[in-house]
Amino acid sequence: MKNRWYNHKASKMNEIRYLFLFLILFYGASAIHAQTDFKPLHSLSNYNYIIMGELDMEFNNVVNFKASATKIQSLYHIKTPIMLAFNLNDLKFFKAQPLQFLGETYDEVLLASTLYPYEKLEEAGSMKVDGHYHTWENGEHYEVKASAILHHFLEVKFNHASFNEKLKTGDKNLQFRLNISGRADEAIPQQEVKGYAKCGVMVLKEGFLLPISIGCGTFYGLDLVNALVTNNLVGDEKTIAIFEQQHEQEYFKNLPTIDALSLINFLIKPQGSYEVPFVGSFASDTENGSEKANYKGTLRLFANSVKQY
């Protein structure tokens, strides 16, 4: 009788232990699941992480304004810290269920974009620029050849080059198109400007600024309007929106691109550093003007710099 009582008590204790162990495993698995899983949200989410990096780039650009017979030529070598912002849940959702994003008219906010709050980027160092700039107008030639250290003004947008078309066909060769832009105006301080500026016979060795304008598509707005008129597209907003998207993709099709999934994988689980070279170009020649640009550089991101935003 006594043995039966002890056996019964031992059995109850084992049941409690097993229940306790089950609860630990259950909640532990739930916690792990909650940390690694994603929420299938069909809306653009705000950034919640940032990662520091570096952009090292050469940019060569020539613009001809036909109406005013003005030509601008510029060559820059830029090395600058960058801060890339992203939403971790969006990245996990996109990687796990890319077909859920078919038909979306999302922009770069969905996945990643560089931000440039000065107070944050100052911690990583300043932007260094070597430039050679020419302008010809009304028979006069103005030239600046110099180097300078600046506050940060560049922005890099990771546009989704033909994502919808590739997702439909199951093509996993997804590319981010790098749209790099920025203009150094009088509000952006320049330090240690070294070189010269020439206008006619006048040569300046100090007291001048290095004119810097990064980007392409100077005549894009005018060219888009001309394309809409040529194709007689008026009134139908949906048709116009589709046309504009296709026109934009074709217009900037040769800009530099990088592999999208390799970047997404790195941002989901950052380890070591991410380094990718890029090269690309842009060209247009219409009644409004002509433009040519060439890009060549390297994008780097550092895993040990990830922070919640």
SS3 91: helix
> Looking at the 3D structure of the chain, how many domains does it have?
2
Calculate what percentage of the chain has a pLDDT beyond 70: 78
Residue 279 and residue 181 share a domain: yes
**CA dist., res. 295 & res. 76, Å (int):** 10
* pLDDT for 293 beyond 90: yes
Buried/exposed code over 94-116 (b: 16+ C-beta within 10 A; e: otherwise):
beeebeebeeeeeebbbbbbbbb
Using 50, 70 and 90 to split pLDDT, how confident is the model at 25?
A: very low
Query: Is 172 within a domain?
Result: yes
**CA dist., res. 199 & res. 194, Å (int):** 17
Query: Is 227 within a domain?
Result: no
Residue 135 and residue 87 share a domain: yes
pLDDT computed for residue 120 by the predictor: 53
Write out the DSSP string of 213-277.
EE---TTHHHHHHHHHHHTT--S-HHHHHHHHHHHHHHHTTTS-EEEHHHHHHHHHS--SEEEEE
Q: Which of 204, 206, 251 is CA-nearest to residue 227? A: 251
User: Residue 77 is encoded by which pair of tokens?
Assistant: 């070598």
Query: Is 121 within a domain?
Result: yes
* pLDDT for 285 beyond 90: yes
Residue 202 and residue 54 share a domain: yes
Q: Which long-range contacts (CB under 8 A, 24 or more apart) does 237-244 make?
A: 241/105
pLDDT tens-digit readout, 169-195: 777 788 889 999 999 887 888 999 999
- What is the length of the chain? 309
Q: Which domain holds residue 86?
A: 46-217+252-308
Residue 145 and residue 78 share a domain: yes
Distances (CA, A) of 48 to 44, 116, 166: 12, 15, 28
Residue 302 and residue 182 share a domain: yes
Using 50, 70 and 90 to split pLDDT, how confident is the model at 18?
A: very low
pLDDT tens-digit readout, 112-156: 566 554 445 555 568 999 999 999 998 899 999 999 998 878 888
pLDDT computed for residue 91 by the predictor: 87
Place of tokens 């060439």: 294
Residue 149 and residue 121 share a domain: yes
**Residues 70 and 137 sit within 8 Å (Cβ to Cβ):** yes
pTM of the model: 0.79
pLDDT tens-digit readout, 76-105: 999 998 888 888 888 888 888 877 776 655
Highest mean pLDDT among 62-76, 84-98, 240-254: 62-76
Residue 82 and residue 23 share a domain: no
* pLDDT for 16 beyond 80: no
Residue 268 and residue 126 share a domain: yes
pLDDT computed for residue 234 by the predictor: 73
Residue 17 and residue 81 share a domain: no
